Chain A
């Protein structure tokens, strides 16, 4: 079965913002972020409030950059990793915008961009605000262990990125155009090892990228960059091998999980993960490179592992998904 790909011709990324935590600021992309907090808690009482503060900061910077009053926006889409996307809803309650909360684990950013493009393309909305966020503090305690727990982490572990980003998808012409969007199918490869999420997500990324390329009748070499979300070092290897098995190697591929943290930083194990990973890498770094002229045509592929702590403890398999969005620089 092929995934659903929708093409657009009047959808643009008007502006975007990126806000990171301290560890991401120290990473190779640190200088590109709009703002960085010196602690994951962002001077708040709890990690949850800190994550809320980060999202609010990203939206505030975004509106300033876009020079757009909030009244011009018709809809907001977004989500995070907390249970019942509680943090996103706390952000939404303080804004005068219709809101659709989304959860697609670490692929939430791309899913919200995809849906925003559909709303804009069909002329229901002129401007849609998208955001997504993850935070080391809130995610570790929810999906893994307390932060100070001295449990031995396996080599294939990834570390949740603290960061968020927001952007405005608009029908008003700007430099980055959305060409098409692919909505991935939820895949089950019978995976149950929660310490390695990169490997199963590589399978979802493989399916979605392959489907997208087939639907668009393109080759991976037609893109200047294919950026996956958080496959990490291990998942990246597996993704590339999956394509090699098809006698159709994947060209120009990078993974955001390997970009956000320095590869020499052994405390980050296989790299970064979480919604914030592809968000920071694309909104902070890739979009700037696109406008500079380094990349013309880019495919962003968000990857998510759709498990909960309960489902993992019940030894259920971990469903995975990947969504893709194709962007191109226009004159």
Chain B
């Protein structure tokens, strides 16, 4: 039995996720989250009369809070399995990664457990978020100097 024969058999039996179904559900999940966030922005800005920038921030904070609560109650991972990237990519995924990691670290105490582990999954998002925003800013500045954008 050589390697190629083995991989042939593996390939033949490969189980693939249905990308159309999963894609649609992600689209749906992300969309619902988007509508919910916009609804929150409208409530904060139109009904409560807050400044629009403040309303955007508060809307994000509210989503983070809701996801953190759902994660703590053990409900969010089921939603994550259904809606995939729709909930994983937005700020909801960021909130979930921090809360789940810190919940997990509870048994190792406040320093080595919660403190050290809270960014174990979200750390990459932060560091590469900062790096990419810096690169974007440099690119924007260069385009500004060249007069392409104003």
Give the residues from 81 to 97 in chain B that come closer than 8 angstroms, CB to CB, to chain A: 81, 84-85, 87-88, 93, 96-97
B84 contacts A152, C-beta separation under 8 Å: yes
A148 contacts B15, C-beta separation under 8 Å: no
Q: Looking at chain B, what size class is its interface with the partner chain?
A: 20 to 34
Q: How far is it, in angstroms, between the C-alpha of A150 and the C-alpha of B68 when the chains are bound?
A: 11
Give the residues from 199 to 244 in chain A that come closer than 8 angstroms, CB to CB, to chain B: 199, 203, 206, 234, 237-238, 241-242
B16 contacts A150, C-beta separation under 8 Å: no
Helix, strand, loop or mixed for chain A's interface? loop
Which chain A residue lies CB-closest to B76?
A150
Q: B52-84 vs A: 1/0 string, CB under 8 Å?
A: 000000000000000000011010110111001
Q: How far is it, in angstroms, between the C-alpha of A246 and the C-alpha of B2 when the chains are bound?
A: 12
B80 contacts A151, C-beta separation under 8 Å: yes
Q: How far is the CB of A220 from chain B (nearest CB, A)?
A: 16
Interface size on A, residues (CB 8 A): 30
Q: Is B103 an interface residue (CB 8 A)?
A: yes
A150 contacts B107, C-beta separation under 8 Å: no
Q: How far is the CB of A233 from chain B (nearest CB, A)?
A: 8
Q: Is A146 an interface residue (CB 8 A)?
A: yes
Q: How far is the CB of B134 from chain A (nearest CB, A)?
A: 26
With a cutoff of 8 Å between Cβ atoms, the chain A residues found around residue B6 in the complex are 189, 203, 242
**Chain A to chain B: the 3 pairs with minimum beta-carbon distance, closest first:** A150-B80, A46-B107, A146-B104
In the complex, besides A238-B9, A238-B13, A241-B13, 8 extra interface pairs with C-beta distance below 8 angstroms are A148-B71, A149-B96, A149-B97, A152-B80, A199-B10, A234-B13, A234-B15, A241-B12
What residues make up the interface of B, taking CB atoms closer than 8 Å to A?
A: 1, 3, 5-6, 9-10, 12-13, 15-17, 22, 71-72, 74, 76-77, 79-81, 84-85, 87-88, 93, 96-97, 99-101, 103-104, 107, 121
Can you identify 17 A-B contacts, CB atoms within 8 angstroms? A47-B107, A146-B103, A147-B103, A147-B104, A148-B77, A149-B80, A149-B97, A149-B100, A149-B101, A150-B87, A151-B88, A152-B81, A153-B81, A156-B15, A203-B1, A203-B6, A238-B10
